[in-house]
């Protein structure tokens, strides 16, 4: 049916106005003159019928149910630059776009609108991908992710997207202003990582993580912006390079500096095949580094090529070198994030978040999990073992476990055994972890070691060779804690196992030497110096045969032999042993171990001088020991502290109390730092310092 | 626009495509077009929303199985009649189950539905309303060129606002408001006519 339009109306004289026709069509009675007009005007009559027909039709349409949403899209009625939004002012202008505070017209809610700039989505393919990604991002619901409302095309043809408006500070500004402790910073950062992990699980890569894209809201919760939307071109690198003014990257536009600073090497290299979620991991690494240290890991470069070289070739300084209070674990985590090889970074943000959780809970981090010593250290920390004591036993475990693994690794088939022994030790440590296993944080260190020993016995009972190796290590650790009783069973059992094996020819001379050495130390600690001397003699013979007269282990055994001889007042024998050890040490290759061994021999010679009453002769020896250690250990290494204590003690006897006081003070400082307030050596140093304090004041 | 959203696709073309199990779009279109009619149909017969939805689900699945198995019998008439037949059976079955449960409570187990003629009227009404709703949706999608005209129509017809209020609100003359109503009504008629053709239920 053809319906006349209302434009056809009113052209003739005396025609009824459209308002009246609508009224009459709706039921009003026509006046006499109107009725007369309808009778002569075909146009008005047809129109009246048409309007009536429309009304009936529209009543039917309306009867089909209410409309759920307006027939006119919200954006269609608005003629502002961004359809559907009233822009209320600029919030931020960056290289890729402008962010406005805005009001969504349809809902009247406040929001932020980001309009992309500069023909960023030139091709249809790029635009489609952008739109797909917007769909993905719009479905993300996470407290750490800023919600995206919708996207569209602005009047100028550039894409825009509308998102939740977050009142807060940029991540870096917040960190700077809040004076966070390292722990608080890691807790905050962990929540950023959690949001990124959520997105990664949904297949969304951020691509432009940087402090400006993370806002910390007024409740202190980080919110990540612009997920997956930052890619300006087909491949982000191409876009970035073009932002430089050419693929050669000769000049660097200021706006892109921010992005480049957080770009992974594979992003800079421009190979799209290499770009995956690990570019976000890298960017998180730069953010963490910057937050911890106050500076970026790499200085700004003149062009992209230099920037790339820098990323690949330069290893950033450890954060702990730049800021106090950062421990080794944080160094490891941060530098792992910044590894130029993506395969060596954390694979996913989930892994990183879990690692940070472990760090915050004081558990061993996986980045360092292969070290038995490290696991032991973490476990002991949770037992609240003084760090000094932990350091001591760890030094012993390191030596023993390395020796053990080296000994086993000598032959190809024994390699597996070596790994098994190390992993068994680690398992044992883990199983007595107060949270994971049977331990309790109330246990003291000796109980802890007893538990580990018991676990090892259980785990390796069917493999005597491995059991013996671990028992030796543990026995030495017990001795390190002056727990000769705890060491006794472990070392004697190990000695028995190895002796039997040696008789059968299953145990090497070196392994036998090792257990004889441990037995000798045990006997010494138990006060049976004669038995100790015999065991040291046996160990010495075995080491000489296995490793040669000038090996480190041989020289060290000879020095210890002197201690056992000295304890029995056999000063001549002791002096001979020490001299022999000293001479042989001259042929050791320069190394930290060699320096420590040499210093120990010099200390031994000085101790012998003291025992013989030749106090004056001891001082040069102690000083020589200090000089030997100097280049190889930290200035506040506990050995330095102990030697200074000995020097102070001798100076007190020699009446040089001012010097004694100074050395005692330094010794006490080092020992307190390294071994804690409760260690015997620290207490000895404190007592000496107390005696000498008046002279210290005088000297000041 | 996806294929499934192509409301203009004729019933014959859609049914032909339905024989291909890989053609998800045809299935979506069928489901999009007929499920709401089936639900409305059952609601009109006094079934609650859940029961209506359940019967509609069973009906579309049963229909598809029978169609693909070539069980369609032209003597059963138009597609609508066929669907009504399946739906009616499902609804009766549902009522029978409820009634059986009611016996335990001492209530009547008698079940009844209206006769075929009145059922067909109900079906036709639902089908027509479905066409009208689809037409409005198409109008919404295609009316961007003249949003003010559509807005005036919407305010006048759907919000029942006085023409003068609409004119003032949109900055239009009264004449233009009536013109808008007339034009949109004409456009809508055109869409309805096209969709009526597409919804023609004579199977190929």
Task: Write out pLDDT tens, residues A45-54.
Answer: 888 999 999 9
Over residues A463-472, mean pLDDT: 74
Q: Which of A260-269, A500-509, A601-610 has the lowest mean pLDDT?
A: A260-269
Over residues A555-584, mean pLDDT: 91
Count CB pairs under 8 A between chains A and B: 84
In chain A, which residues touch B (CB < 8 A)?
1, 3, 5-7, 18-19, 22, 50-51, 54, 57-58, 60-67, 69-73, 76-77
Sole residue written with tokens 């160990």: A539
Query: At residue A225, does pLDDT exceed 70?
Result: yes
* For chain B, percent of residues with pLDDT exceeding 70: 79
Q: A98 - beta bridge partners?
A: A93, A115
Residue A245 confidence (pLDDT): 32
Sole residue written with tokens 């919600």: A147
Q: Which of A287-291, A433-437, A623-627 has the lowest mean pLDDT?
A: A433-437
Which residue in chain B has the smallest CA separation from A9? B175
Q: What is the DSSP letter of A347?
A: S
| Dist. CA A383–CA A362, nearest whole Å | 11
Which residues neighbour A514 within 8 Å (Cβ) at sequence distance 6 or greater? Answer: A403, A407, A472, A539
Contact B179 A6 (CB under 8 A): yes
Task: Write out pLDDT tens, residues B138-160.
Answer: 888 776 557 788 888 888 888 88
Chain B hits for A18, CB-CB cut-off 8 Å, are 174-175, 178
Contact B174 A19 (CB under 8 A): yes
Among A5, A18, A76, beta carbon nearest to B144? A76
Q: Which two tokens stand for residue A572?
A: 């001549």
Residue A561 confidence (pLDDT): 93
| Dist. CA B3–CA A287, nearest whole Å | 47
Q: A450 - beta bridge partners?
A: none
Q: Which of A2-11, A76-85, A288-297, B15-24 has the lowest mean pLDDT?
A: A2-11
Query: At residue A379, does pLDDT exceed 70?
Result: no
Query: At residue A222, does pLDDT exceed 50?
Result: yes
CB A521 within 8 A of CB A473: no
Closest CA to A346 of A390, A437, A280, A442: A280
Contact B163 A22 (CB under 8 A): yes
Over residues A307-319, mean pLDDT: 77
Torsion, Cα A167 A173 A179 A182, to 10 degrees, reads 100
Contact B129 A65 (CB under 8 A): yes
Residue A126 confidence (pLDDT): 57
Q: Which of A247-261, A536-550, B43-57 has the lowest mean pLDDT?
A: A247-261
Closest CA to A217 of A278, A268, A145, A323: A145
Contact B154 A67 (CB under 8 A): yes
Over residues A7-22, mean pLDDT: 69
- How many Å lie between the alpha carbon of A61 and the closest alpha carbon of chain B? 6
CB A608 within 8 A of CB A571: yes
Higher pLDDT, A591 or B42: B42
* B157 reaches A (C-beta below 8 A): yes
Residue A532 confidence (pLDDT): 94
Whole-model pTM: value is 0.41
Contact A57 B185 (CB under 8 A): yes
Query: At residue A436, does pLDDT exceed 70?
Result: no
Contact residues, B window 28-87, toward A, CB-based 8 Å cutoff: none
* B15 reaches A (C-beta below 8 A): no
Chain A hits for B127, CB-CB cut-off 8 Å, are none
Chain A hits for B183, CB-CB cut-off 8 Å, are 5
Which residue in chain B has the smallest CA separation from A51? B182
CB A100 within 8 A of CB A211: no
| Dist. CA A667–CA B77, nearest whole Å | 106
CB A17 within 8 A of CB A10: yes
Chain B hits for A74, CB-CB cut-off 8 Å, are none
Residue count of chain B, please give it: 204
Task: Write out pLDDT tens, residues A672-683.
Answer: 877 667 777 788
Over residues A129-144, mean pLDDT: 75
Among A7, A65, A72, beta carbon nearest to B154? A72
Query: At residue A255, does pLDDT exceed 90?
Result: no
Contact B188 A61 (CB under 8 A): yes
- The ipTM value here is 0.80
Q: Which two tokens stand for residue A391?
A: 């350091």
Query: At residue A194, does pLDDT exceed 90?
Result: yes
Residue A333 confidence (pLDDT): 93
Query: At residue A151, does pLDDT exceed 50?
Result: yes
- Read off φ and ψ for residue B13, nearest 5 degrees: -65, -40
- How many Å lie between the alpha carbon of B193 and the closest alpha carbon of chain A? 11
């Amino acid at each position: 049916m053809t319906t006349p339009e209302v434009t056809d109306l009113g052209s003739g004289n005396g025609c009824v106005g459209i308002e009246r026709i609508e009224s009459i069509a709706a039921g009003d009675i026509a006046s006499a003159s109107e009725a007369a007009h309808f009778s002569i005007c075909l146009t008005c009559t047809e129109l009246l019928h048409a309007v009536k027909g429309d009304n009936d039709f529209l009543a039917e349409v309306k009867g089909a149910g209410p409309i759920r949403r307006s027939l006119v899209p919200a954006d269609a009625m608005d003629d502002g630059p961004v359809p559907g939004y009233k822009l209320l002012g600029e919030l931020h202008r960056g290289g890729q776009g402008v962010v406005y505070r805005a009001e969504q017209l349809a809902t009247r809610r406040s929001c932020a609108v980001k309009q992309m700039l500069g023909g960023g989505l030139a091709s249809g393919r790029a635009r489609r991908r952008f739109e797909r990604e917007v769909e993905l991002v719009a479905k993300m619901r996470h407290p750490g992710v800023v919600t995206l409302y919708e996207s569209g095309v602005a009047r100028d043809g550039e894409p825009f997207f509308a998102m939740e408006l977050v009142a807060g500070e940029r991540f870096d500004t917040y960190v700077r202003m809040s004076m966070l402790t390292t722990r608080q910073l890691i807790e905050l950062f962990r929540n950023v990582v959690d949001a990124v992990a959520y997105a990664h699980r949904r297949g969304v890569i951020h691509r432009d993580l940087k402090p400006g894209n993370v806002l910390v809201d007024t409740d202190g919760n980080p919110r990540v912006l612009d997920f997956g939307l930052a890619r300006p071109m087909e491949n982000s690198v191409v876009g970035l390079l073009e932002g430089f003014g050419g693929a050669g990257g000769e000049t660097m536009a200021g706006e892109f500096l921010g992005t480049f600073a957080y770009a992974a090497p594979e992003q800079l290299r421009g190979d799209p095949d290499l770009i995956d979620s690990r570019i976000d991991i890298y960017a998180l690494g730069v953010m963490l580094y910057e937050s911890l240290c106050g500076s970026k890991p790499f200085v700004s470069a003149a062009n992209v090529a230099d920037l790339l070289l820098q990323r690949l070739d330069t290893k950033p300084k450890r954060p702990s070198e730049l800021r106090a209070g950062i421990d080794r674990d944080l160094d490891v985590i941060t530098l792992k994030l910044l590894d130029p090889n993506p395969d060596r970074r954390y694979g996913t943000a989930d892994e990183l978040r879990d690692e940070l959780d472990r760090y915050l809970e004081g558990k061993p981090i996986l980045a360092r999990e292969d070290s038995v010593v490290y696991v032991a250290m973490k476990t002991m920390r949770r037992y609240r073992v003084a760090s000094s004591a932990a350091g001591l036993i760890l030094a012993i475990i390191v030596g023993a476990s390395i020796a053990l693994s080296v000994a086993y690794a000598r032959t190809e088939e024994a390699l597996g055994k070596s790994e098994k022994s190390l992993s068994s030790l680690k398992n044992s440590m883990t199983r007595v972890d107060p949270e994971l296993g049977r331990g309790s944080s109330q246990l003291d260190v000796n109980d802890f070691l007893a538990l580990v020993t018991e676990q090892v016995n259980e785990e390796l009972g069917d493999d005597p060779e491995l059991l013996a190796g671990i028992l030796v290590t543990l026995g030495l650790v017990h001795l390190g804690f002056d727990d000769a009783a705890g060491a006794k069973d472990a070392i004697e059992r190990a000695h028995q196992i190895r002796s039997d094996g040696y008789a059968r020819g299953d145990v090497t001379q070196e392994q036998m030497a090792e257990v004889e050495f441990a037995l000798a130390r045990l006997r010494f600690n138990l006060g049976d110096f004669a038995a100790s001397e015999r065991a040291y003699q046996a160990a010495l013979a075995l080491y000489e045969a296995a490793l040669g007269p000038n090996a480190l282990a041989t020289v060290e055994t000879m020095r210890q032999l002197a201690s056992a001889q000295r304890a029995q007042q056999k000063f001549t024998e002791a002096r001979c042993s020490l001299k022999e050890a000293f001479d042989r040490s001259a042929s050791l290759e320069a190394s930290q171990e060699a320096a420590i061994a040499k210093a120990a021999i010099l200390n031994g010679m000085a101790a012998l001088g003291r025992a013989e009453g030749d106090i004056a002769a001891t001082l040069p020896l102690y000083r020589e020991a200090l000089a030997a250690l100097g280049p190889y250990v930290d200035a506040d290494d506990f050995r330095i502290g102990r030697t200074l204590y000995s020097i102070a003690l001798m100076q007190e006897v020699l009446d040089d109390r001012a010097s004694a006081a100074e050395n005692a003070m330094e010794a006490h400082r080092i020992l307190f730092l390294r071994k804690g307030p409760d260690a015997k050596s620290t207490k000895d140093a404190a007592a000496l310092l107390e005696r000498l304090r008046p002279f210290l004041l005088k000297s000041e | 626009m996806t294929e499934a959203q192509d409301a203009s696709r004729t019933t014959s073309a859609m049914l032909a495509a339905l024989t291909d199990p890989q053609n998800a779009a045809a299935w979506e279109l069928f489901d999009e077009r007929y499920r709401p009619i089936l639900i409305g149909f059952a609601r009109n017969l006094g079934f609650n929303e859940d029961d209506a939805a359940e019967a509609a689900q069973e009906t579309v699945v049963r229909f598809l199985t029978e169609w693909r198995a070539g069980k369609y019998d032209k003597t059963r008439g138009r597609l609508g009649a066929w669907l009504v037949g399946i739906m009616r059976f499902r609804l009766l079955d549902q009522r029978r189950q409820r009634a059986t449960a009611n016996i335990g409570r001492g209530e009547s187990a008698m079940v009844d539905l209206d006769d075929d003629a009145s059922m067909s009227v109900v079906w036709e009404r639902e089908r027509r309303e479905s066409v009208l709703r689809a037409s409005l949706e198409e109008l919404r999608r295609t009316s961007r060129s003249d949003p003010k005209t559509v807005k005036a129509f919407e305010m006048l017809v759907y919000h029942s606002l006085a023409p003068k209020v609409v004119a003032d609100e949109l900055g239009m003359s009264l004449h233009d408001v009536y013109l808008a109503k007339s034009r949109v009504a004409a456009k809508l008629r055109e869409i309805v006519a096209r969709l009526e053709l597409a919804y023609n239920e004579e199977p190929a």
